[in-house]
Every structure is written in structure tokens, then in C-alpha cells.
Chains A and B, each alone.
Chain A
Amino acid sequence: MRRLLLAAACTFAFTASAEAQRTRLTVYTAFENDQLPVFKQAAERAVPGIEVVWVRDSTGIVTTRLLAEKDNPRADVIWGLSAFSLIRLEAENMLEPYTPKEAEALRPQFRSERNPMTWVGLDAFVAAVCFNTVVAQQRNLPKPATWTDLLNPAYRGLIAMPNPASSGTGLLTVAGWLGTKGEAPAWEFMTRLHDNIAVYTHSGSAPCNNAARGEYAIGITFDMRAVALRNQGAPIDIVVPADGVGFDLEAAAIHRGTRHLEAAKRLMDFAISKEAMELYGRYYALLGRADVQPTVQNYPPEFSQRLADVDFASVAANRDRILAEWARRFDGKSAPRN
């Protein structure tokens, strides 16, 4: 009944104003703030008759909102959110299946396993290390090249890392270690790394922000943040460890129950089009389509060979177990140390 009334009110509003004839698509996203106007403008040009209205926040908050709003959804489209989050929404049956045009051009890892697809990958961000060169000089620290290098006792108390229980970046980092090293050696590695960790932060950005300000010498983070801070003038080197890095996809999907299904489908078509990929390529170094070359500056070029073999579905399914194990080993003694 309320829906009907609402629809009636909308129809009225549409006829009342010519401007309102554009379909307003509410798009939930975790894209960076500076990317939003660029993507919005391109989408509205490519899909006539739509208006993109962003609801933007960090990955955790957007995912929490989506799940809390499940029974009465407000989002039409999710565009630019972690694949881990979308797999979670898929499990709750919140995604509308739709295989966008040209989906066959996507790399195999960038597609949902279902047919029709429930989500599509757009670009990837990888775990990376921010290394403060000024602090390094003061303390005479060597620059790490691999994850194993971080076990060097010289780094004791100088590394910040996101807590995987509260940060998606933390989770993808741990998932990368589990994927490349194997389960038991990965836990052994983390136990030794724990001795060097100064702080487990709540967000994935904080470690690199801290490293950029010289609070800690090393921050474990994701590549986007590191590049952005470096471009702001922070004295950091970006290290993509050579022994394999975990990564996460930014993905897009249609929210089940949208009242603008047709418009949402057109937006999804655009989201994996060549044109959109070229825009993502300004910010991300690994794109969903192999036929588009990224143009982003300051990325370590060699990283795409270093991607860990991450099985998203399996990490998502084992997430609770991984976090419980992590908490058992490292949370109990999380008082600050120097």
C-alpha cells in the first residue's frame, strides 16, 4: 500500500516537473570522494535519462547500512564496493541477477560464479606497504621488499597494520598471506610479525596515514591510499611485496527490489564498458577488462605479477573462522607496546 502511494506520489512529481523525468538512481558506493563527480558525469552522459545520486562512506559503513536496510532497501545500485561485501549480500539474497553487456570481456576472477551474474568486478586494489623514508633515514632502517623482510627485528614497534576484524584491508592482507604461504606457515608468519607491530588500527587507511605523518615507519595498507598520500607530498615509498599480495575487487551489482530495474541495468552495462574502465584506469592499476590499459601514475609497475591466489568465495565463507583464530592469537594481548 505504501509503495503504491509512493509510486503515485512519484508519478505526480514526475509529471509536475520536467527536470524530474530523469530517473534518480540511488547508488551506494565506497569509491574515493574525488572519483565521484568524474564517474557520475560519465555515467549520466553515457546513459541518458538517469541521475546518479551517491551515498558514499567507507566500505564497512556502507555494507552495514545495506544489510540494516535489507527489509526496505533504499539503494538501487551498488557501484564500487568490495567483492567480499557483495558476496555477503549475495548470500542474503539481496542482489538482482543480471549479466551486463560485454561481461565476457572481464577477466575470469572479476565475475561472480552465478549465471546470470549477481556482481561484476571493476578494478582491484592490493595490499601494499607504506615506508616512510624520513623515519627510515633517522633510524637507519633498510627498505623492505617482501613480507618476510618485515620480520626484521630492526622494525620492532614501528609497524602499523589494520585489524582484520574491523577493516576490509586487514582481511584482504591476511587472506593474501593465507593464499600464498598456506595456512600453517601464514599463522606462524603473523605470530612473528606480531612482535614488530606497534598498533592494529581500526581502518585500512590509518596505517598509511600514520606512516605518512611519520608516527610509524611502516604502514600496511592498500595501494590507492598509499598512492594518494604520496601524491599529496608524503615522504613515503610504496612497496608491493614480491612474495605475493592479497587483493580485493571493487565490484558493482543491482540491488534486488529496485524500482528502476531498466535504468539500473543500463548503469551496470556502463560500469564495465571500455569508457568506464578507462576512467577507473586513472586511479587503479589493475582493471576488470584486460583490453584497457591503466594510466595511473606512481604505481609500482611490477605488481600485477605478484597477486596472491585469493579465492573470494572461500575467504568469505571462512571469514568467521579466520577472524576467530586471529582474535585468539593476537587480540588478547593487544595492549600498546613500544
Chain B
Amino acid sequence: MTVIAALPVRCVWSGDDRLLAAVVVCASLFLLIALVLPLGTLFLKSFEDQQGRFVGLANYVRYVETPGLADSLWNSLWTAGLTTALVVPSAFVFAYALTRSAMPGKGMFRAVALIPILAPSLLPALALIYLFGNQGFLRSWLFGGTIYGPLGIIVSQVFYTFPHALLILTAALSGTDARLYEAAEALRASRIRVMRTVTLPTARYGMVSAAFVVFTLVITDFGIPKVIGGSFSVLATEVYKQVVGQQNFQMGAVVGVVLMVPAIIAFAADQWAQRRQVAVVGARAVPYVPKPRPGRDWPLFAFCLLVSCLMLTLVGIAAWGSLIKFWPWNLSFTLDNYAFGNFISAGWGSWSNSIQLAFWTALVGAPLVFVFAYAMDRARVLGPVRDLARFLAVVPLAVPGLVLGIAYIFFFNAAANPLGFLYGTLGILVLNSMVHFYTVGHLASMTQLKSLDPEFESVSASLKVPIWRTFAAVTVPISLPVILDVAIYLFVNAMTTVSAVVFLYSPATMPASVAVVQMDEAGFASPAAAMATIILLTSAAVKGLHVRLDTHLSCRSQAWRRR
């Protein structure tokens, strides 16, 4: 092998290498234009004063001297840390139950656990206020404590991030080789030992990814602390204060840079985990089919039932809130809250805008994310470009939507930008949403690709089959469930996102999620809950279609895995 590698002929790129290199370059260009350049134009401002003169690190010095900064940094870190510590283990157990047990009702549990992702973050926050606010039904449960502040933030964040972690962990746990378990059984390994030496190692990459996804989501999310955080200040609300409250783009950029630190740590950890990950689905792998074992299945069933009930309660309360006249004084039922035209001029039109936005984001985004992830994972040439692209792919997660939205104004609205025609159109909202939610789709695709043995490519190379045919005939069909997951993820997030698009929508493209926020601001809590419910139902309907499609596809494309 070493002898061959030393031969000059090895340096000539094969057709496959050229193709993969081209895709890697495309991916880098895409991320450069849609992410790096916009953020760059904004971050340069962190070194300027308000008149645009270069001032070096003066803004950073001023920021460090700002009172309350240490508080908001510490608050962000500990709430995010605690949320991660709660979400990752419970999402792991949930994912484990879905993939490795024979409990009944898996499809239902899977669907219910994804509900939080389908709803705007205002929905659980409103529900928590109805339940535990100062007029809430269950206020006494808090023993005089308050829901406004860290408690409300953490509960809402757990609810909101759970499905994100579940998505990644399910992907990590579903790719496994049953032969490992058979071998373990034959060797009479104890269950704990199997868990420690087989299950956990195969899921390690997924767990690290999930932890950092959850951590950074909490750090960058601004909607939840705004609604239920009370005066508890976190980094994301600091950005809002600087940018929207005072139009101080320079300081906003400084806080944006501070928020990027988790992304860099995430990337380092990601790389570290990746080096330790081995492919678990070899070409000869056999999918694991769990056999019933009541002692394991029923406790897992009880756990999933509990989690699902909690989620349904929160959603149910909010849906109920959309049907009442004026909480908490007039609890009689009405459908008037759904006549959105009475509360906001865009009315139901904002709903169809959102559907178009979500549809295009999913349709364009999912194939793009997967093809790019494939090239980034399999390319053996252009190492530095490939590593750069991999880094850029995890950056969006750490960028608060607010920062991304304003960066888009500066970049795409610059008079000299040839892409300026996008500004004010649906196109810029689609591009923005694709980039904003790029990372989770990327990580899910990578997790899937890592679990596929590169042997597939080696074999096809030796058979002189071009890589794109292997990709189309083997990789895509095997990975279709994951690609669909990514598409649905993009769809539902584009339905619910507010923070970035609020700066980019035009009169003709106002999305429903922005309408929710505007109605809530105007004191129309029930109509806001109603629009949030409509968003939830739309996403749920699409998700329902997905589940049916997925079952159908699994029968057709995953049959080879079974024995």
C-alpha cells in the first residue's frame, strides 16, 4: 500500500475524485456566499465605530466593561448546560426505545416526540404561562416560585430542543449491525457490558453531535427568553437589546462574535468524535431487529408515554388557548380568533406565504445538504477545502437568526451585489432559511453516511462504476429516510422561524410566524395562539404524509437489510 501511494501515478485524480472535488468546491462556494460573506460584512462592523472608522478592539473592550455582561454570559452557559444535561440522556433513552426495543406504539411515540419542532416557540411558552403563570391553573405547584426566569426558560428549551436531539440520536442508533449483538450474545456478555461496548460506542458520534446541537440552540435562541425569561438576561437577548433596541450594529456584532465561540468548540468536538467513529454498517451488515423482552420494553414504554403526555399537554393547552375569548377573564369558546384578517392585514395570506417558503426550503435544501455532506465525507482530495467546508457547515447552528437576518440585509442589499435582485423576494427567505437550519440536516446526513461502509465505493471503483451511479443506486436509496427527515426538518423550521426572516420579509411575503409575533405584541394572545396552532397543524399534516411515505419507502428500499 505504501509502495503504491509513493508512486507518482497515484497523484492523478480519477474521474470520481474530480467529481467529488467539484461538489466540495460547490459546497464551499455556496456556504461562502450564503453564510461567510454576509456574516463577514456584519462582523467587520465589530471593529468599527458608528461612523465606520476602524477602531480595533475598542468595542470589545467596551463590551467587557458593560455591567451585567458576566451575568448574561454565565446565565447563557448554565441554562444551556443544564438543558443539555436533561435533554441528551432522555432523548437517548427515547431514541433507544424507538430503535432497539420491541415496545408497542413506536410510530405514535416518534410522531408525538417531534411535535415541539412543528410549533413556533411561542406556543409552549404561552402554554406554560397558562399553566404556571401568576394566574395559572397549577401555580401552586411552584411553591411560590416563578415561571418567569430560568425555570421557564429551561422547561421551554427542553421541550423545544428534545426533537432536535432525538432526530440525531435516532439516526445514530438506527444504523447498527445485528451481528455485533449476536456475537455479544454468543459470548454471554452481560447487558451492561453490551450497552457499554456495543451500543454506546456506535452512538457516540451522535451523542456528541446532539449535545452540541442542543447547547448551541439554547445559547442562540432568543424567542423563549423574550417571552418567558422575565428579566433574566442571556446573550441572545443582549444582541436584541443592542441591535433592535438601539440599532447599535457594532455592539450587536461584538456579541455575535462572542456567540460564535460555542460553534468553534462544537467543531473541535465534532472532529474529535469523528476520528473515533468507525463505520458500523458494513456492506455485509444486517439490521438489528429487536426481540421482545418485557423487562426492557415496558419500562421504556412507560418512559415514552410520560414524555409524550407532557408534550401533548403543553400543546393541548395552547390549542385550547386559541379557542377562548380572553384569557383568563373570559373562558368561553369562540372561533373568532381564527379570522386573522381582523387582527393583522396579511391575514390568512401569511399562512400561504409560509407554506411556499417551507416547501421551497425543503425541496431545494434537503438534496443540497445531503449531496454536499456526501462529498465532504467521501472526497479524498482537496483536504483543506473539504475540512473548511465541514467547518462552515456547523457554523450556522451557532449564529443567532437575528444576526444572520441583519447580515443578509448588509450583504444582499449592497448596491454592488449582483445577487441584489433576490432582496425583498421569497428567494432570499428560502436561502436564509436553508442556511439558518443547515447544520442539523448536515449532521444527520453525516451521521448516516458515517454508518455506511466506504467499502461500497471501493467495490464500485474496482468494478469501474462511476461514483455518481453508486451514489444514486446505493447511497441515496439506503439514506432516503434520512434525506426525507432532513427535508421535513427544513420544512417545519421554515414554517416556524421568526428571528432571521423578520428583517427580510416584504409586504408580499410576510410569513405566518411573523404574524404570530406581531399579534402577540399587539396583545392578541388568543389569535396568536390560533395562528401558532394553524402552523402546528400544517406541519403535522406534512409530517403525517412523511410518515406514510417513509413506511412505504422502507418497505421498498430497506428490504435488502433484512434477512
Supplied contacts A166-B246, A215-B133, 9 more A-B pairs, CB within 8 Å: A61-B244, A74-B423, A202-B240, A205-B523, A214-B329, A228-B522, A234-B329, A332-B68, A336-B146
Q: Please, which residues of chain B bring their CB within 8 A of the CB of A36?
A: 345
Min CB–CB distance B155 → chain A (angstroms): 14
Given the known interface contacts A68-B409, A332-B71, the answer about A61 and B240 at a Cβ–Cβ threshold of 8 Å is no
Partner of B523, one of A63, A163, A225, A235: A225
Partner of A63, one of B240, B247, B507, B525: B247
Number of interface residues of A (CB under 8 A): 60
Q: Please, which residues of chain A bring their CB within 8 A of the CB of B231?
A: 163, 199-200, 334-336
B328 touches A214 (CB 8 A): yes
Partner of B328, one of A2, A33, A213, A327: A213
A57 at the interface (CB under 8 A from B): yes
B420 touches A72 (CB 8 A): yes
B345 touches A228 (CB 8 A): no
B59 at the interface (CB under 8 A from A): no
A216 at the interface (CB under 8 A from B): yes
10 closest A-B pairs (Cβ-Cβ)? A166-B245, A336-B149, A60-B244, A331-B68, A68-B409, A334-B231, A336-B230, A166-B241, A332-B67, A214-B135
Measured in the bound complex, the distance between the Cα atoms of B71 and A212 in whole Å is: 31
Measured in the bound complex, the distance between the Cα atoms of B327 and A215 in whole Å is: 11
B134 touches A216 (CB 8 A): yes
Residue interface bits A61-73, CB-to-B below 8 A is 1, else 0: 1011101110110
Residue interface bits A312-328, CB-to-B below 8 A is 1, else 0: 00000001000100011
Measured in the bound complex, the distance between the Cα atoms of B518 and A58 in whole Å is: 8
Min CB–CB distance B412 → chain A (angstroms): 9
B109 at the interface (CB under 8 A from A): no
Chain B residue at smallest Cβ distance from A329: B67
B344 at the interface (CB under 8 A from A): yes
Partner of B415, one of A60, A71, A215: A71
A202 touches B146 (CB 8 A): no
A183 at the interface (CB under 8 A from B): no
Residue interface bits A54-93, CB-to-B below 8 A is 1, else 0: 1111101101110111011010000000000000100000
Given the known interface contacts A72-B420, A134-B329, A336-B232, the answer about A88 and B68 at a Cβ–Cβ threshold of 8 Å is no
A103 at the interface (CB under 8 A from B): no
Measured in the bound complex, the distance between the Cα atoms of B241 and A198 in whole Å is: 19
B424 at the interface (CB under 8 A from A): yes
B247 touches A53 (CB 8 A): no
Q: Please, which residues of chain B bring their CB within 8 A of the CB of A198?
A: 148, 230
13 pairs of residues in contact across A and B, judged by CB atoms under 8 Å:
A56-B345, A60-B247, A65-B409, A68-B410, A69-B409, A74-B424, A163-B245, A199-B231, A202-B240, A214-B328, A228-B522, A233-B329, A338-B146
Given the known interface contacts A233-B326, A336-B231, the answer about A68 and B237 at a Cβ–Cβ threshold of 8 Å is no
Measured in the bound complex, the distance between the Cα atoms of B414 and A2 in whole Å is: 12
Min CB–CB distance B45 → chain A (angstroms): 10
In B505-526, the 8 Å CB interface with A consists of 506-507, 514, 518, 520-525
B243 at the interface (CB under 8 A from A): yes
B247 touches A67 (CB 8 A): yes
Q: Please, which residues of chain B bring their CB within 8 A of the CB of A134?
A: 329
B240 touches A166 (CB 8 A): yes
Q: Please, which residues of chain B bring their CB within 8 A of the CB of A68?
A: 249, 406, 409-410, 413, 503
Q: Please, which residues of chain A bring their CB within 8 A of the CB of B345?
A: 33, 36-37, 54, 56
Measured in the bound complex, the distance between the Cα atoms of B68 and A200 in whole Å is: 14
Partner of B522, one of A33, A67, A166, A233: A33
B66 at the interface (CB under 8 A from A): yes
A165 at the interface (CB under 8 A from B): yes
B521 touches A203 (CB 8 A): yes
Min CB–CB distance B531 → chain A (angstroms): 13
Number of interface residues of B (CB under 8 A): 58
Measured in the bound complex, the distance between the Cα atoms of B506 and A53 in whole Å is: 10
Residue interface bits A30-48, CB-to-B below 8 A is 1, else 0: 0011101100000000000
Given the known interface contacts A233-B329, A233-B330, the answer about A331 and B148 at a Cβ–Cβ threshold of 8 Å is no
Min CB–CB distance A106 → chain B (angstroms): 27
Min CB–CB distance B306 → chain A (angstroms): 29
A305 at the interface (CB under 8 A from B): no
Given the known interface contacts A208-B523, A233-B326, the answer about A163 and B507 at a Cβ–Cβ threshold of 8 Å is no
Residue interface bits B469-512, CB-to-A below 8 A is 1, else 0: 00000000000000000000000000000000011001100000
B144 at the interface (CB under 8 A from A): yes
Taking Cβ atoms with an 8 Å cutoff, the residues of A that contact B are: 2, 32-34, 36-37, 53-58, 60-61, 63-65, 67-69, 71-72, 74, 88, 134, 163, 165-167, 198-200, 202-203, 205-206, 208-209, 212-216, 225, 228-229, 232-235, 319, 323, 327-328, 331-332, 334-336, 338
Measured in the bound complex, the distance between the Cα atoms of B259 and A335 in whole Å is: 21
B343 at the interface (CB under 8 A from A): yes
Q: Please, which residues of chain A bring their CB within 8 A of the CB of B522?
A: 32-33, 205, 225, 228
Measured in the bound complex, the distance between the Cα atoms of B249 and A67 in whole Å is: 9
Q: Please, which residues of chain A bring their CB within 8 A of the CB of B230?
A: 198-199, 336
Q: Please, which residues of chain A bring their CB within 8 A of the CB of B245?
A: 60, 163, 165-167, 202
B539 at the interface (CB under 8 A from A): no
Chain A residue at smallest Cβ distance from B415: A72
Chain B residue at smallest Cβ distance from A73: B413
B523 touches A338 (CB 8 A): no
B113 at the interface (CB under 8 A from A): no
A61 touches B503 (CB 8 A): yes
Q: Please, which residues of chain B bring their CB within 8 A of the CB of A53?
A: 507
Partner of A88, one of B66, B67, B247, B415: B247
Measured in the bound complex, the distance between the Cα atoms of B326 and A233 in whole Å is: 8
Q: Please, which residues of chain A bring their CB within 8 A of the CB of B415?
A: 2, 71-72
A213 touches B233 (CB 8 A): no
A202 touches B226 (CB 8 A): yes
Measured in the bound complex, the distance between the Cα atoms of B76 and A195 in whole Å is: 25
Min CB–CB distance A36 → chain B (angstroms): 5
Chain B residue at smallest Cβ distance from A74: B424
Chain B residue at smallest Cβ distance from A328: B67
Min CB–CB distance B332 → chain A (angstroms): 11
B129 at the interface (CB under 8 A from A): yes
Measured in the bound complex, the distance between the Cα atoms of B66 and A233 in whole Å is: 42
Given the known interface contacts A88-B247, A334-B231, the answer about A215 and B129 at a Cβ–Cβ threshold of 8 Å is yes
Min CB–CB distance B562 → chain A (angstroms): 54
Min CB–CB distance A158 → chain B (angstroms): 9
Q: Please, which residues of chain B bring their CB within 8 A of the CB of A64?
A: 243-244, 247, 406, 503
Min CB–CB distance B410 → chain A (angstroms): 6
Q: Please, which residues of chain A bring their CB within 8 A of the CB of B502?
A: 57, 61
Given the known interface contacts A166-B245, A215-B133, A335-B232, the answer about A199 and B148 at a Cβ–Cβ threshold of 8 Å is yes
Q: Please, which residues of chain A bring their CB within 8 A of the CB of B148?
A: 198-199, 336
Q: Please, which residues of chain A bring their CB within 8 A of the CB of B330?
A: 233
A213 touches B327 (CB 8 A): yes
Q: Please, which residues of chain B bring their CB within 8 A of the CB of A328?
A: 67
Measured in the bound complex, the distance between the Cα atoms of B230 and A234 in whole Å is: 22
Q: Please, which residues of chain A bring their CB within 8 A of the CB of B329?
A: 134, 214, 233-235
Measured in the bound complex, the distance between the Cα atoms of B520 and A57 in whole Å is: 13
Chain A residue at smallest Cβ distance from B243: A64
B237 touches A327 (CB 8 A): no
Partner of A232, one of B328, B424, B507, B523: B523
Chain B residue at smallest Cβ distance from A158: B134
Measured in the bound complex, the distance between the Cα atoms of B246 and A63 in whole Å is: 9
A33 touches B343 (CB 8 A): yes
B521 touches A58 (CB 8 A): yes
Measured in the bound complex, the distance between the Cα atoms of B387 and A97 in whole Å is: 53
In B139-156, the 8 Å CB interface with A consists of 144-146, 148-150
